Chains A and B, each alone.
Chain A
């Protein structure tokens, strides 16, 4: 196949103009494909990063997300005192009862209000999530109206700088620290003392509780302990499983939408490739006739022209991947369906995604090249040789 391959390849180079247009069309589609999937990938990575293998999140039985869950104040000591819960240097349990409420703040970009999650947390919350670090300021002091803000939220919303005051829940809160959390969803949130937030938002209970276990392997016995206590109507989950599940609905929507858009676009690109290949076949009819006269089979002609089309598409695929690469790491945000608040995340292009883009371009080349290749193979030899 070597020489025949280079024959098709060199013939393609002769028609650089149309070849470049076709490759360009395919490049566009592959770029869109890679970019939309990079959104899904980034979104999922952000939520999954929010979970740690040693942590467990406890919700009311039947609740699928924090927003629809509830915990009684009296539940907290029953859980905290379980032997599986890790303890800090002060011998107090690493457990944080929490409350999440969405407030509206104006976005930096368009000044439009969007929902931002405010999370009331216990004093150990920062110790429980080990990826949390302060880039500016310090942790809020328990019992005060001090709050901390995630760095991604600072970038996306107005008035969240260090030292600023933010009004919500009939009170004014002062920002005393800005934190990062390894791109986790927490970076899009505002954190303050849960015991002050509860009355501010007129709540009478918590929504969830997150605990650090003494060891990740203790989850099963921890779960059994909670489920066997008749006073608790709660369900503990591994934190990572919980957040992976939270991302499911959104990533599915992005993937379905992305696939739909790229499919529509790819129809155009496939027709482009088909057009180019029909032109190539018409232009080289006499050469094809000659090859057949020499004894090249129809099958060989089909594969040669298919290979040409696929090669052309792969050039487009590489181009498309290169076009898409610069969005890697760019931040964007979207409303998570399960929490109805904005989650900031970064586009994430993985090697597997690029491989998917290349495969997609090859498929477009094959689909676009198939009919022209079959036509090339079906031209009657005697008639092809008469072509001028």
Chain B
């Protein structure tokens, strides 16, 4: 059984009285351990699809199952708890809190667990170790480079050890070198730590690292055989 199962997912936004279709009957299966790349032109609905997977938005029609959870039918409250336990989210603009240190930013998701302060410290330092930023724990975001900020954000996404990582254009704001480091890191998380990853990108180099790439166009899926299969 696939880890993620999207069935006929449709999403329309209402602006004034007009309905804007964003996703139209999308069905995807993502097996456990896959590194899926999502490509498509700007405005094709990639972020919307990722948000639906993350449970931070709801489909207008259709169903979404992740593991044994039918997320599309959870209450708002239950969904927040489910996100905290199951999903690590990586944003294009990192979304680190400027007034918190790297350590504190990574610690945020652990505040929703019952872990003690020392246990939290262990988890945070492990996560910072994986992204190779242990020595930056006391730095504030403005004291870090873009690439380092994104790695802190990745540490934050993995600190609760979720099975699913969702990344929305994680290299969209980075220079080529930093982007390369971030992509290598994601690849390692997939291979070594067995994380299932869905990554939205418009960068073909980024997509190359994925094990499978899907293309979205105007809200519908166009499956293509990737020209080059990474790994």
Which residues of A come within 8 Å of B, CB atoms? 2-4, 6-7, 10-11, 13-14, 286-287, 289-298, 380-382, 385
A287, closest chain B residue (CB): B97
CB distance from A361 to the nearest CB of B (A): 24
Looking at the complex, which of B24-32, B101-109, B205-213, B216-224 is the stretch in contact with chain A?
B101-109
Q: Flag if B51 contacts A382 (CB, 8 Å).
A: yes
Q: Flag if B85 contacts A7 (CB, 8 Å).
A: no
Bound form: Cα–Cα A290–B84 in Å: 12
With contact pairs A4-B111, A290-B91, A385-B56 given, residues A297 and B99 touching in the complex (Cβ less than 8 Å): no
Q: How many residues of B contact A (CB 8 A)?
A: 29
Q: Flag if A295 contacts B83 (CB, 8 Å).
A: yes
Is B177 positioned at the interface, with any CB of A under 8 Å from its CB? no
B48, closest chain A residue (CB): A382
Q: Report the tally of A-B residue pairs with Cβ distances under 8 A.
A: 71
Q: Flag if B56 contacts A7 (CB, 8 Å).
A: no
Q: Flag if B56 contacts A382 (CB, 8 Å).
A: yes
User: Given A10, A13, A298, A385, which contacts B100 in the complex, CB threshold below 8 Å?
Assistant: A10
Q: Flag if A297 contacts B97 (CB, 8 Å).
A: no
Q: Flag if B91 contacts A295 (CB, 8 Å).
A: no
CB contacts (< 8 Å) of B14 on chain A: these are: none
A295, closest chain B residue (CB): B84
Closest 9 CB pairs of A and B: A295-B84, A10-B99, A290-B95, A381-B56, A382-B57, A295-B83, A297-B80, A382-B51, A294-B109
Interface 0/1 of B72-92, CB less than 8 Å to A: 000011001111110101010
CB contacts (< 8 Å) of B97 on chain A: these are: 7, 287, 290
With contact pairs A287-B95, A295-B85 given, residues A7 and B100 touching in the complex (Cβ less than 8 Å): yes
Is B112 positioned at the interface, with any CB of A under 8 Å from its CB? yes
A388, closest chain B residue (CB): B93
A4, A13, A294, most chain B CB atoms within 10 A: A294
Is B54 positioned at the interface, with any CB of A under 8 Å from its CB? yes
CB contacts (< 8 Å) of B104 on chain A: these are: 3, 6-7
Bound form: Cα–Cα A10–B101 in Å: 11
